[in-house]
Structure formats: C-alpha cells, structure tokens
Amino acid sequence: MARIFITGSADGLGHLEALLLIKDGHSVVVHGRDRKRAEDALKAAPGAEAALFGDLSSIEETKQLAARVNGLGAFDAIIHNAAVGDKERQRVGTIDGLPHVFAINSLAPYILTCLIDKPARLVYTSSGMHRGGDTRLDDLLWKKRTWSGTAAYSDSKLHDVLLAFAVARHWKDVYSNAVDPGWVPTKMGGSSAPDKLEDGPKTQVWLATSNDKEALVSGRYFHHLHERAFLPAAADEELQEGFLKECEGISGVQFPFVL
C-alpha cells in the first residue's frame, strides 16, 4: 500500500485519482484551496486518510501547505494535479501580484517540490498544450506581453514538464515524470472534450503506485499509460535550470539540489 498526496483533489481529475487509489487500497490525502473545499474533498472521497487546505495562488499559503504535508509524515508519492485553465480573459493578479495561472500551475508545484519532504515518486500534470509554450523565461509574469489566457496556460504546462525533468536529473532516487491526461470532460475541460473521462486519471495513478517496469522510470512524458514525444526544448538542461532559478527569485524558495 502506498501513501499519496494529491493537490487540487476536491473535484476533477484529482478527485477521480483519489477514488481510484482508495479503491486499490492506498492511503490518500486530498487537498482543497480552503477549509471548506478540503472538507468537501474529504467527504467526496470516502476512505481518504485526511484533507489539507492551502490556497496555491498565495506563496505564503503554499509554504504553509507544504508544512502541513510534512506534519503528516512521509509520503510515497505526490501528484501535482491542481491547476486553472486557459479561459482567463485578462491578467488576474494574485495577492503576491503574480498572474493567477502562473502562481497555481507553475510556481506552486515548484514551491511544494522544494519544501515537502522528498517522496519516492513525483507526478506532474501537464498537457499537450505545453508544446505551444514559450521557451523564453524573460516574462514569466506577463508584464511585457499582451495577455493571452491560452498562451499563459500553455506556458504553465511547459513549466510543469521542465520541473519534472529537472527534478529527475537532480534527484536520482526519485521517479519524476510529467503526464498529459488528455482533453477530458471535467469542469476545466468542458463537456465537448473528446477523450473519455475515465482515462484521465489512470496514468497518474499508475505512475504513483505501479511496479511495472514501464512505470519505474524518470524524466519521461506520458499520455494514456504510454510514453509520448514532448516539446524538445523541455529536455534542454539550461532551460530547466533557468526555470528553477526564476522560480527561486520569485518565491524566495531555493531548490534543494542535494537532500
């Protein structure tokens, strides 16, 4: 039995991941952005061990969430699922003055990765839209560019791949991978999404728990249980390091290269 923490698991893919993991006998800790959402997540996942709260749009609350996770003890796997979509029509600023999409989709997984005690496996939820992400790191906060919700989302999903691959390089004792769950009909994906909802959570659950040799790999990009091609720039070590450095500068949290 594995112990797994899933961010953003009050609904959508995170909720479905929790249900599958509990059904398979694993211990699951769910998460919501505030106390009520966390309570809702726990009620919606009968058998879950606990629920934690923390608003991932806030740097300070994300740090506090990491401390709460560590307070529960060691985890075998963490699935970074929480995200907002590509529909924001204008730059929505957070309490820290960051774009909402960047704060939740890009920076929060970085902060949590740095501050939560290292698990054996890390799964980062990306998207096929990462292939349209901007590989330049000079305007992560959208201060120069004209806002585009679609572009901001694509950038953030590229950031998730960069983070997964950087972690895989630096932490040789951790399986760290990125996943495209497909375009599935969740609240974020919308009712017109072409992929099957039941396929959306399967790869994340498999990477978090399976002992199949195909799952015991690191620095890979998966879609529906199979490795898939990713934007080649995501494998650029200099770009990965640049992203880590930018996140450190924005958050004040340093990546622990040696643990």
Name all domains of the chain by residue range, CATH numbers in brackets. 3-251 (3.40.50.720)
Tokens of 185: 């009909």
Nearest C-alpha neighbor of 11 from the set 58, 50, 43, 59: 43
Q: Partners of 80 in the beta sheet?
A: 124
DSSP conformation class of 197: G
Tokens of 57: 């749009």
The secondary structure of 15-41 as a DSSP string is: HHHHHHHHHTT-EEEEEESSHHHHHHH
Q: Partners of 79 in the beta sheet?
A: 6, 123
Q: What is the pLDDT along the chain (259 residues), one digit of tens a residue?
A: 899 999 999 989 999 999 999 999 999 999 999 999 999 999 999 999 999 999 999 999 999 999 999 999 999 999 999 999 887 888 989 999 999 999 999 999 999 999 999 999 999 999 999 999 999 999 999 999 999 999 999 999 999 999 999 999 999 999 999 999 976 555 565 556 556 667 789 999 999 999 999 999 999 999 999 999 999 999 999 999 999 999 999 999 999 986 5
SS3 of 56, please?
coil
**Residue reference for tokens 């929505």:** 92
114-135: burial string, b at 16+ Cβ within 10 Å, e else: bbbebbebbbbbbbbbbbebee
CA 239/CA 47 separation, integer angstroms = 41
Q: Which residues are catalytic?
A: 153, 157
Q: Does the pTM of the predicted model rise above 0.75?
A: yes
AA letter at 189: G
